[in-house]
């Protein structure tokens, strides 16, 4: 699976990216802020985007609306340590699901893999 991670916390993003790569996934990271998510999405064409809500240069809520306007079927996971799943901004963002920080990498992997349809075996 191709995963785009967008979070301005470099250590978290780098460690999660390595964990997901070790699990066999192709990962692209954006650590500079929300403004760089759209060009990365257009260039990388991810299956899933996991994005922090609180980022500099456009927050995850604003970027989620832009991503959904480009691709209404996008698999988008928002994460935050400041907002909860029942916050009105989160509910209105159109994300597939929400991941509260701090989270375990195993939980993130399970959630991301659960968003994708199972691979069909060819006989």
| Residues 62, 68 contacting (CB under 8 angstroms) | no
pTM of the model: 0.88
The helix (run of H) or strand (run of E) holding residue 4 is strand 2-6
Q: What is the pLDDT of residues 22-64, one digit of tens each?
A: 999 999 998 888 889 999 999 999 999 999 998 888 888 889 9
Averaged pLDDT score across all residues of the chain: 88
User: Do the domain assignments include residue 84?
Assistant: yes
Its domain, for residue 101, covers: 2-114
In a domain, 24, yes or no: yes
Q: Is residue 87 part of a domain?
A: yes
Confidence of residue 104 (pLDDT cuts 50, 70, 90): very high
Q: How many structural domains comprise the chain?
A: 1
Domain for residue 123, yes or no?
A: no
Handedness of CA 13, 19, 21, 23 (dihedral sign): negative
For residue 36, give the CATH number of its domain.
3.40.50.2300
Residue 34 counted as domain residue = yes
The answer to whether position 9 is within a domain reads yes
Q: Supply the pLDDT for residue 71.
A: 92
Residue 18 falls inside a structural domain? yes
- Domain annotation covers residue 122: no
């Amino acid at each position: 699976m191709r995963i785009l991670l967008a979070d301005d916390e470099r250590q978290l993003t780098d460690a999660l990216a390595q964990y997901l790569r070790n699990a066999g996934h192709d990962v692209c990271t954006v650590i500079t802020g929300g403004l760089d998510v759209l060009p990365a999405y257009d260039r990388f064409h991810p299956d899933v985007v996991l994005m922090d809500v609180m980022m500099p240069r456009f927050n995850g809520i604003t970027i989620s609306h832009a991503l959904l306007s480009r691709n209404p079927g996008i698999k988008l996971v928002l994460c935050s340590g400041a907002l909860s799943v029942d916050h009105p901004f989160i509910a209105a963002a159109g994300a597939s699901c929400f991941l509260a920080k701090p989270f375990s990498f195993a939980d993130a992997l399970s959630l991301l893999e659960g968003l994708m349809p199972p691979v069909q075996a060819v006989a």
